[in-house]
Amino acid sequence: MQKSPLQIARQSYQPKMPQALRSSLQIKEGAKTQSVADQEEIQRLFPNTYGMPVLTFEATDNADSQATKTNAINVGVILSGGQAPGGHNVICGMFDALKAINPDNQLYGFLGGPSGLIEGQYQLLTGNIIDDYRNTGGFDIIGSGRTKLEETWQFDKGIEVCNKLGISAIVIIGGDDSNTNACVLAEYYKQKNCGIQVIGCPKTIDGDLKNEMIETSFGFDTACKVYSELIGNIQRDANSAKKYWHFIRLMGRSASHIALECALQSQPNVCLISEEVEAKNMTLNDIVEEIAQVVVERAKAGLNFGTVLIPEGLIEFIPAMRTLIQELNDLLADNAAFTSLEGDEAKREYIKLKLTDASRELYRSLPKAIAKQLTMDRDPHGNVQVSLIETEKLLIEMVSKRLAQLKAEGSYVGKFSTQHHFFGYEGRCAIPSNFDADYCYSLGQTAVRLIQAGKTGYMSVIRNLTAPAAEWIAAGIPITMMMNMERRNGKLKPVIQKALVDLKGKPFRYLEENRAEWADANTSYIYPGPIQYYGPSEVCDQPTKTLVLEHTCK
């Protein structure tokens, strides 16, 4: 493997860890827990893993304090869903912890995501392999995938494969859906008494796997820092050339955490927040008007340039668009008649005939390219793939039209030249920031401590993340505690609650209080610059603004 000088230097970076994970530790058990909602139903569905206590690892002088499994064990690890910086370090943390407990312990990586478990595709992870991936971005050590583990035959196949490899514990590194599946798997294996523990790890750049117990998901920190650097660079260019409005769409399938954090880091002229759009019941035209007004005001001061941040999931939060998308989802599911139609026009006409009046009107009003994107292949959950919908182009086209009207009326005198960008894949595999490198390594270490303590159905969690790493708290949280019942594909299912942007939370309120100033003629851009891996701690080890604001709120 060819390595860059930075990669070589990072290989020897020793991640910082909570003090408790460096010493002999003891487990402190909290009180019994219950799910966030629908307690009776969740308890009925998870009789064996419901109600378990929160576990905290604490340093102790007593070397025998943790119930140790002295025999060598084999553990499997799965990367699930979209890439997030730091995934390799979770695996490195697991590997180092396993070998420290017993050098004969083995770690197997299941290849290509959850399907690797079912299909028996695996790789034994050796010290040499692990060393090549320390502190690197990406998930390429074993690959990832989006296969859902939710059916009994898949679970049974997993038992067969684990038995063949002598695996007694699996760690699933994933987002809300993958951890929900981890919980179902843990319950099934416990009920079957098959001796396989299941532990989850909170991953997703989207930042929407967080709650009272999980302060942030890993990867969010690095991805937001990469995007903010790029936004800052664009803002400096805009402020130098003074000729373009830049419309920048940012990843985040549904929640707007990434857009919000990038706005806090870079102070753009406009940042849309999908959750606010929904709460205010805004239409597409309302959003266009909001942007157009900022363009008009800046033009009055001779500033015909600026930046607009757009969360990827925006389109689904506009109530009328959501209805249209829902109708399209239902209409296009297994629709052979539609698929067999030749040509875009025929498909367009077919759809127009089947939609309700309001949705047809909206569909017709959209630029053809966007309307077509709305009908493209669905993801494995039957949802429209928002990462493929070019909302930034849609908004540019609509704002242009509105400005032309305003110009005709004499209330706009500027020039509106635009550039569009989509930042997503640029950040998902970046070299993890020190924060993510440290955080992920600690998550991996904690996952092994949970296995060592014989636990199942827990998520590995690190808390107190705005403090120096030595003061972080390593914990295990019962996954059932984060669950509620939600309608998915027409059926009520137990799932981990997704965390959208809290409009009463400190990070959004900070944006709300400052955005008029950021939009104003006096440019307040911040240029964050690239992630720094070496140097003063106040530059290298800072958590996201979101985390800091959330903690100062407490």
Catalytic residues: 206
What distances in angstroms separate CA 515 from CA 228, 240, 301, 344, 525, one per listed residue?
A: 17, 22, 18, 41, 11
Contact flag: residue 225 with ligand FBP (CB under 6 A): no
Contact flag: residue 204 with ligand FBP (CB under 6 A): yes
Integer Cα distance of 114 and 145 in angstroms: 7
Contact flag: residue 251 with ligand FBP (CB under 6 A): yes
Contact flag: residue 113 with ligand FBP (CB under 6 A): no
- Binding ligand FBP by CB under 6 A: which of 134, 190, 253, 393? 253
Tell me how far, at minimum, the Cβ of 336 lies from ligand FBP, in Å. 25
Tell me how far, at minimum, the Cβ of 90 lies from ligand FBP, in Å. 14
Tell me how far, at minimum, the Cβ of 241 lies from ligand FBP, in Å. 30
Integer Cα distance of 137 and 4 in angstroms: 13
Contact flag: residue 261 with ligand FBP (CB under 6 A): no
Burial zone of 400 (CB within 10 Å; 0-12 exposed, 13-18 middle, 19+ buried): middle
- Asked if 283 and 321 touch (Cβ cutoff 8 Å), the reply is no
Tell me how far, at minimum, the Cβ of 243 lies from ligand FBP, in Å. 31
Task: Give the phi and the psi of residue 172 in degrees, each rounded to 5.
Answer: -105, 120
- Asked if 446 and 462 touch (Cβ cutoff 8 Å), the reply is yes
Contact flag: residue 252 with ligand FBP (CB under 6 A): yes
Contact flag: residue 43 with ligand FBP (CB under 6 A): no
- Binding ligand FBP by CB under 6 A: which of 91, 182, 205, 450? 205
Tell me how far, at minimum, the Cβ of 387 lies from ligand FBP, in Å. 4
Neighbour tally for 295: CB within 10 Å: 26
Which is closer to ligand FBP, CB of 245 or CB of 422? 422
What distances in angstroms separate CA 503 from CA 9, 236, 276, one per listed residue?
A: 41, 29, 7
- What six digits make up the tokens of 64? 């025998």
Integer Cα distance of 443 and 549 in angstroms: 23
Number of residues that bind ligand FBP (CB under 6 A): 14
Integer Cα distance of 476 and 56 in angstroms: 6
Stretch of 204-212, 342-350, 468-476, 531-539 lying at the interface with ligand FBP (CB under 6 A): 204-212
- Binding ligand FBP by CB under 6 A: which of 137, 158, 175, 494? 175
Tell me how far, at minimum, the Cβ of 84 lies from ligand FBP, in Å. 6
Stretch of 247-255, 264-272, 438-446, 458-466 lying at the interface with ligand FBP (CB under 6 A): 247-255
Which is closer to ligand FBP, CB of 130 or CB of 209? 209
Integer Cα distance of 507 and 524 in angstroms: 18
- Binding ligand FBP by CB under 6 A: which of 221, 312, 316, 550? 312
Query: Can you list the alpha helix ranges (DSSP code H) found in 61-151?
Result: 87-101, 115-119, 127-133
Binding site for ligand FBP (CB under 6 A): 81-82, 84, 175, 204-206, 251-253, 312, 386-387, 428
